[in-house]
Amino acid sequence: MVSMVSSSKVILFALAIIAFCVSPSLSFSRRALNEHKNVKTTGFRVSLKHVDSGKNLTLFQRIKRGMKRGQYRLQRLNVMSFAASDSQIEAPIQAGNGEFLMELSIGTPPQSYKAILDTGSDLIWTQCKPCTDCYDQPSPIFDPKNSSSFIKISCSDSLCEALPQSICKDGCEYLYTYGDYSSTQGIMGFETFTFGKVSVPKIGFGCGEDNEGSGFGEGAGLVGLGRGALSLVSQLKEPTFSYCLTSIDDQKTSTLLMGSLASVNSASKNAIITTPLIKNPIQPSFYYLSLEGISVGGTRLPIKKSTFSLQDDGSGGLIIDSGTTITYLEESAFELVKKAFISKTKLPLDNSGSTGLDLCFTLPSDSTDVEVPTLVFHFEGADLDLPSENYMVADSSTGLVCLAMGSSSGMSIFGNVQQQNILVLHDLQKETLSFLPTQCDQL
């Protein structure tokens, strides 16, 4: 028993096409890691806030807004992935945007900003003066002329070479595009970044003077936490990081832990489960997992073993993503999950479509306590038994309880609702990802 509580310029577009068709060499990633050994820290923690925090939204309103962003994110990833495999071009796609904002400071003296955290891309960037085309942001735009620690990155630097597209003029000028052709364009520089109380010098980032596209307005830029050389993870030389996300329907603060602070204490080791991280050479930034099956109500569903497999052309597979709200499963698998929930949930179906979710039930009028079937994701070496609030969302004002999952026609995504109150630990040295049930607001 569980308790449920209530117009892009023509020139830019042309450059974007070029950027899409040129892939960064993996050797650049290795060179970047070897050359920038001065960037090293013992670890730090950063507060995260959901992009819809403080907007006085109901749970279903938050879910709806997140789904709109997530479906757009999933659609462009699948479309671009198909284009890459169809043309046999190794074309990495950067997800862009995201669901959480991280607090940081840039420059000397430090200036405070909120930036979008994105585990689906690599580049760190912020809007910079002089802006030729910048969107409105909540904080003053960064001016590198006012910082004594800003240094332009040379064209011969490995971080410049790791960019999908760069031009050598007055230093390394970059163009970085995302799946929907939103983009940031400007000059690459080194700067001191401050995370909490820890200042880290010489972080390579994009000083964006021309930034176009939807979804960036909540922050002053974006921090990529992907697996490529340009990401914060790679530049810090700390092989571990973790995040812990609080429930989507509260105002509590989530947390990002980097380096030594991301480790798990010995008392928790019995509760942690670990699965291998998989690499996709076509999409090297994403964190792929091997999902072998799903159980609903104690019954393993007859999902074909190949359903979530990563294909030779780079398509398919399942990624874990902090920037997508609900989980999206390959269509045939989702239909089996949906059928099982209908069979095992003793509540009347709601077919109004009012929530935007695929499967909803009507709650009993006299109680908010309902019995729902268990849900287990069988990852390679790790059976993740989710608490009910991580897959069934209820709203007493509407009298509905819904499955927080949807279907996909290609890539599957394990979303952030399913990751609530779980410490998600990435170990890039061991190439593993671990799950540890955690009360994230008490971390």
364-421: pLDDT as tens digits: 887 657 789 999 999 999 999 999 999 999 887 888 999 999 999 888 999 999 999 9
Residue ranges and CATH numbers for the domains of the chain are 7-259 (2.40.70.10), 265-442 (2.40.70.10)
Q: Is 85 helix (H, G, I), strand (E, B) or coil?
A: helix
Q: Tokens 């002329």 map to which residue?
A: 145
Please say if the pLDDT value at position 40 is more than 70.
no
Please give the Cα distance from 93 to 86 (Å, whole number). 14
Higher-pLDDT residue of 378 and 268 is: 378
Residues whose CB is less than 8 angstroms from the CB of residue 87 and which lie 6 or more positions away in sequence, other chains included: none
408 closest CA partner among 291, 316, 279: 316
pTM: 0.85
Length of the chain: 443
pLDDT digits (tens, 9 = 90+) for 271-309: 999 999 999 988 888 999 999 999 999 999 999 989 999
35 closest CA partner among 126, 119, 205, 158: 158
pLDDT recorded at residue 396? 78
| Active-site residue flag, 321 | yes
Structure tokens belonging to residue 263 = 């480790």
Please say if the pLDDT value at position 61 is more than 90.
no
Structure tokens belonging to residue 122 = 């690599």
The least confident of 9-13, 194-198, 216-220, 413-417 is 9-13
pLDDT recorded at residue 370? 79
Q: Which of 157, 249, 321, 350 is catalytic?
A: 321
Q: Is 334 helix (H, G, I), strand (E, B) or coil?
A: helix
Please give the Cα distance from 114 to 17 (Å, whole number). 30
CA angle, 358 as apex, 352 and 364 as ends, to 5°? 60
Task: Give the mean pLDDT of 325-331.
Answer: 94
Structure tokens belonging to residue 5 = 């509580």
Please give the Cα distance from 90 to 68 (Å, whole number). 28
Task: Report the chain's C-alpha Rg in angstroms.
Answer: 22
CB 154 within 8 A of CB 138: no
Q: What share of the chain is helix, strand, coil (3-state, %, to 5)?
A: 20, 35, 45
Please say if the pLDDT value at position 217 is more than 80.
no
Amino acid at 342: I
Annotate 93-113 with b (16+ C-beta within 10 A) or e (fewer). bbbbbbbbbbbbbbbbeebeb
Please say if the pLDDT value at position 93 is more than 80.
no
Residues whose CB is less than 8 angstroms from the CB of residue 358 and which lie 6 or more positions away in sequence, other chains included: 334, 338, 403, 405, 406, 407
Q: What is the mean pLDDT of the chain?
A: 84
404 closest CA partner among 421, 388, 389, 391: 391
Amino acid at 409: S
Q: Which of 118, 122, 249, 395 is catalytic?
A: 118
How many C-beta atoms surround the C-beta of residue 210 within 10 A? 16
Please give the Cα distance from 308 to 411 (Å, whole number). 8
From residue 345, how far is each of 35, 339, 348, 436 by CA, in Å?
56, 10, 9, 27
Give residue 73's pLDDT band: very low, low, confident or very high (50, 70, 90): low
**Going by DSSP bridges, is the β-strand pair 240-244/412-414 parallel, antiparallel, or unpaired?**
unpaired
Please say if the pLDDT value at position 203 is more than 60.
yes
Structure tokens belonging to residue 226 = 């992907």
Amino acid at 404: A
Q: CA-CA-CA-CA torsion for 78, 84, 88, 89, nearest 10 degrees?
A: -160
**Going by DSSP bridges, is the β-strand pair 422-427/432-437 parallel, antiparallel, or unpaired?**
antiparallel
